[in-house]
Amino acid sequence: FTKVYHKPSYEPYFLPFTSVHPVHMKINIPYTMLIRAIKYCSTFETYVKEREKLRMALLLNKYPGEFIEKQFSRVFQKHNLIEPLSTSNYITLREKLIYLGTNEKMPFDYRSTMFIHFTYCLNMKTLPAKFHALWNKYFNCPN
């Protein structure tokens, strides 16, 4: 029987559901934490225990139970798991998730795409228009 190791400094705290952060960040937390639990747990029994610890931590951080279930279900839907996760199909899903990230990624043309990193703020709806105005002002030079 294996056990998931947690550092002594581990605390079961996540971004509180009541925070002002955008919903997409809150959606991603249960989703990625369940994937991590599947990858880290070598047996189905260990996974079940870790999943319930995760569920409890999310509930303590004010995540609604229905919200948690929806994100957990999304993991299984995304990986085409039709029947409930069990001892017989757990290892197959786990191996699929472990090796998923090792495939070669498509090359990305950084010359044609710009990434902008900024802090989330309440006036995000106006950002694209402001950005394009500044871009055109400083970089849209006539030939």
pLDDT one digit per residue (tens) for the chain, 143 residues: 567 777 888 787 889 999 988 888 899 999 999 999 999 999 999 999 999 999 999 999 999 999 999 999 999 999 888 888 889 899 999 998 888 765 556 677 777 777 777 776 777 778 888 888 888 888 876 54
Number of domains in the chain: 1
Q: Does 4 fall in a domain?
A: no
Beta carbons within 8 Å of 12's beta carbon, 6+ residues apart: 53, 56, 57, 60
Q: Is there a domain that residue 83 lies in?
A: yes
As given in the structure block, the two tokens for residue 84 are 């409930």
Domain assignment present for 2: no
Asked whether residue 88 is assigned to any structural domain, the reply reads: yes
Distances in Å between the alpha carbon of 9 and those of 2, 6, 129? 20, 8, 44
Measuring CA to CA, how many Å separate 92 from each of 39, 80, 86, 97, 124?
11, 12, 10, 9, 42
Cβ-based neighbours of 104, under 8 Å, separated by 6 or more: none
Within a domain: residue 109? no
Host domain of residue 32: 10-103+117-143
In-domain check, residue 1: no
DSSP state of 125: G
Q: Is residue 26 part of a domain?
A: yes
Measure the N-to-C terminal CA separation of the chain; round to a whole number of Å: 70
Would residue 17 count as lying in a domain?
Answer: yes
- Distance, CA of 136 to CA of 139 (rounded, Å): 5
pTM for this predicted structure:
0.67
Query: Can you say whether residue 62 is alpha, beta or left, with left for phi > 0 and alpha for psi between -120 and 50 degrees?
Result: left
